[in-house]
Amino acid sequence: MKQLPILQFQTKCGPALNFDKVKAPTVTLQAASAAPALQISLKNPNSEASFSNVIPTLVFIFFGCLVSFITVPLSQGSQWAKLPVDQWIAAMAQLTPPWINPEEEAASAPLASEALEETAEAPTQQIAPLALLNGVNCSAYFPGDKPSDASSAFDEHIWSKLSKDLQDQAVQRLDVCSPFELIKQDLIAAQGCAQHECGTNDVRFYLSADNKAAIEINVDGQCTQSAESGFRHTELLCARR
């Protein structure tokens, strides 16, 4: 019979624990320790840049308010938006700006009315005589019981410049009249003659754009001419046609 193994135990002694050589950690309270500090300065380096943005902001707000003042009534169909444009402009014109003195404005009003009256009294000075007389027959301006713009222009720019003798000879030849017509870019002319005697006993008036007048009169086929000083188209006077 086989013998079973025998388990043997041997005891070994370890190092002795010495509590005098081991020290536990200690906590010290109320000890000063250095920590990072936050430094805050009263001087703002971006203050100038921030101030520079204030003016554009105010301008933007002003224009926004102005646009809203105009567009909001239009979108809502208010009574102000229904006013005609000319009436709205007239109402705005009645507002007195703060830099205008009311006394000076009242004094200037009569001057404006006087200027309008002078303009109404002189219609021939507003419109060029060539435009007033072009296409108008002499029966519409000379002689006439009812003055017109054409008759006033003819008297001022042509007839009043003629001598009494030329006026008398012209009157005798105004039985048949042709209207003023443009014969050059800056010159108009009209003809009058006795019955069936055009070319023999006739009169022809000229007026240039710079208000220089001329006349030619045929007496039994003999031509007499007269031109105001500065008339540039003398080559046309008594020319063969």
**Digit-coded pLDDT (tens) for 152-177:** 889 899 999 999 999 999 888 888 88
Q: Render pLDDT for 80-129 as a digit per residue (tens, 0 to 9).
A: 555 565 665 666 565 555 444 555 555 555 555 565 555 444 444 456 88
> Mean of the per-residue pLDDT values for the chain?
75
What pLDDT band is residue 187 in, cutting at 50, 70 and 90? very high
∠ CA(170), CA(209), CA(218), 5° rounding?
A: 25
* Phi/psi at 70 (5° precision): -90, -45
Instruction: Check whether 189 has a pLDDT greater than 70.
Output: yes
Alpha helices by DSSP H, listed for 37-80, are: 47-52, 54-76
pLDDT at 219 over 60: yes
Pairing of strands 181-184, 176-177: unpaired
152 contact partners, CB below 8 Å, separation of at least 6: 123, 124
Model's pTM, two decimal places? 0.49
The 8 Å CB, 24+ separation contacts for 141-144 are 142/174, 143/171
Task: Report the candidate in 66, 180, 61, 178 with the shortest Cα–Cα distance to residue 128.
Answer: 180
In which band, very low, low, confident or very high, does the pLDDT at 188 lie, cut at 50, 70 and 90? very high
* One-letter amino acid for residue 29 of the chain: L
Whole-angstrom distance, CA of residue 77 vs CA of residue 101: 36
At residue 81, the pLDDT reads 52
pLDDT of 1 over the 60 cut: no
Residue range 19-44: mean pLDDT, rounded: 65
- Domain 129-236 top-level CATH class: alpha beta
Q: So where are the chain's domains? A: 129-236
Confidence of residue 52 (pLDDT cuts 50, 70, 90): low
CA distance 220 to 199: 9
Residue of 200, 236, 230, 196 lying closest to 215 (CA atoms): 236
- What's 159's DSSP letter? G
3-class state of residue 14 by DSSP = coil
